[in-house]
């Protein structure tokens, strides 16, 4: 009787620990093979055949199609440069320089990876439609209310993610530091 | 007391095994992966355009709204696939995924270097069965080996401005993905090559 109880307890612990760890890694992701530059994180290896098992589990669970290495690379930011989570009710400025690429796009998603509805039907910017300053730099204002210049509406949602995708770019599996890939800065400039 | 501690340690160790096995098994048992989501709305061995990415479209997460996207869901068991994608004005890319969404190959218009991206997709076995001379005449055609018999080809055309979206969609509509029809001709030519 006691042996049975102990076996059951061991199996219970095994199930909770095992499936719990799997669920955690599949939903939150791991640091395996990540490239972090400022607030931006990319996993260039997810676009190749040697994608790690944790990323594979996350990709199939979410129903995503990762961007292939010959196509480009995707960076995600959930926070600003000071690690403050991106808040749709605040004014956030994305500015500065971008790594070499033929095109890039910046897109705003809710926490589930869906686009956020707004009256302008603007869900992001491409490198071609952005309004630049005289020095070639740009500034994108991510805010719930209309702003002058490059305004990216948040729809006032509490948490969002920004995705910065580079197409036809040397940035990829071999990239290590900010010097190879100078990413734009993200700063929260004001909250109501 | 020691027995209880031992039980818990054994449980945690066994849990690690459960964790590793479930992570490795997840791609195979996931029912909501991209391939399954696309199956009801795409034709087999043909190009199907996907609806534009907008807030009401919750087909797949993290779609880039700046792109027109078309998908060719392929099955190579009956023969290789011939893929032709005309290059759009801005940027066009073709990505290949296995049945379990491993991105094993991707190419863009510039690396293809032509006005039309032309590819032959086949399994490794079909590639090995190609007659030798066929390979030489086909040198200007790119041959891709698919690790799995089924999978997805994703065609993307960039609309650098929202107004250019119809143009990007039109360019994708002209692409084709079909089973190779010159199969009998190839077999007829094969004996000649042996002479």
Residues of chain B found within 8 Å of residue A9, distances taken between Cβ atoms:
4, 7-8, 11
B14–chain A nearest CA distance, Å: 5
Q: How many domains does chain B have?
A: 1
Per residue in A153-192, pLDDT tens? 999 999 999 999 999 999 888 888 888 889 999 999 988 8
| B121 domain-assigned | yes
Q: Are the C-beta atoms of residues B88 and A139 closer than 8 Å to each other?
A: no
Could you report the predicted ipTM of this complex, rounded to two decimals? 0.88
> What are residue B38's phi and psi, to 5 degrees?
-85, -20
Decide if B27 contacts A56 (C-beta within 8 A). yes
The verdict on residue B85 lying in a domain is yes
In a domain, B158, yes or no: yes
What is the structure's pLDDT at B138?
54
B71 within some domain: yes
Q: Is A130 exposed, middle or buried (0-12, 13-18, 19+ CB in 10 A)?
A: middle
Q: Is residue B2 part of a domain?
A: no
Please tell me if residue A70 touches chain B, with a CB cutoff of 8 Å: yes
Q: In Å, what is the CA distance from B41 to each residue of B50, B72, B191?
A: 8, 11, 42
Percent of chain B with pLDDT strictly greater than 70: 88
Could you give the C-alpha distances from A168 to A40, A118, B107, in angstroms and in order? Answer: 19, 30, 9
Identify the CATH assignment for A35-190 out of 3.40.50.10490, 2.60.40.420, 3.30.470.20, 2.60.120.600: 2.60.120.600
Interface probe for A, chosen from B66, B88, B89, B163 (most Cβ of A below 10 Å), is: B66
| Residue B193: per-residue pLDDT | 40
State the count of interchain CB pairs (< 8 A) between A and B: 205
Residue B136 lies in a domain: yes
Alpha helices by DSSP H, B87-151: 109-112, 124-129, 132-137
Whether residue B126 is contained in a domain is answered as: yes
CATH number, residue B137: 2.60.40.1610
Average pLDDT over residues B118-143: 77
N-term to C-term CA, chain A: 63
Q: Which domain holds residue B143?
A: 34-52+65-182
Residue B187 lies in a domain: no
Q: Hey, is the C-beta of A13 within 8 angstroms of any chain B C-beta?
A: yes
pLDDT of residue B2: 85
């Amino acid at each position: 009787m006691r042996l049975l109880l102990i076996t059951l307890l061991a199996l219970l612990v095994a199930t909770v620990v095992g499936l719990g760890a799997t669920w955690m890694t599949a939903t939150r992701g791991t640091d395996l093979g990540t490239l972090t530059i400022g607030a931006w994180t990319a996993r260039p290896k997810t676009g190749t055949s040697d994608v790690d098992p944790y990323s594979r589990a996350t990709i199939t669970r979410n129903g995503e199609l990762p961007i292939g290495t010959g196509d480009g690379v995707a960076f995600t930011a959930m926070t600003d440069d000071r690690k403050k989570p991106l808040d749709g009710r605040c004014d956030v400025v994305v500015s500065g320089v971008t790594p070499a690429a033929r095109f890039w796009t910046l897109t705003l998603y809710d926490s589930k990876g869906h686009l956020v509805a707004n009256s302008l039907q603007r869900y992001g910017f491409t490198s071609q439609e952005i309004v630049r300053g005289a020095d070639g730099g740009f500034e994108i204002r991510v805010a719930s209310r209309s702003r002058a210049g490059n305004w990216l509406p948040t729809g006032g949602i509490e948490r969002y993610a920004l995705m910065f995708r580079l197409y036809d770019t040397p940035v990829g599996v071999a990239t290590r530091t900010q010097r190879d890939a100078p990413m734009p800065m993200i700063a929260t400039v004001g909250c109501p | 007391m020691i027995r209880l501690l031992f039980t818990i340690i054994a449980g945690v160790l066994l849990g690690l095994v459960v964790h590793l096995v479930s992570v490795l098994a997840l791609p195979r048992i996931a029912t909501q992966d991209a391939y399954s989501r696309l199956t009801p709305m795409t034709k087999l061995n043909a190009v199907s355009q996907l609806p534009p990415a907008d807030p009401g479209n919750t087909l797949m997460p993290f779609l880039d709204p700046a792109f027109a996207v078309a998908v060719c869901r392929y099955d190579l068991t009956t023969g290789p696939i011939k893929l032709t994608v005309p290059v759009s004005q801005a940027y066009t890319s073709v990505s290949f995924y296995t049945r379990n969404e491993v991105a094993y190959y991707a190419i863009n218009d510039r690396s293809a270097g032509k006005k039309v991206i032309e590819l032959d997709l086949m399994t490794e076995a079909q590639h090995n069965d190609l007659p030798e001379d066929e390979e030489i005449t086909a040198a200007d055609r790119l041959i891709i080996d698919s690790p799995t018999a089924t999978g997805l080809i994703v065609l993307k055309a960039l609309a650098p401005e929202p107004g250019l979206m119809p143009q990007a969609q039109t360019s994708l509509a002209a692409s084709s993905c079909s089973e190779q029809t010159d199969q009998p001709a190839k077999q007829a030519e094969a004996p000649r090559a042996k002479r």
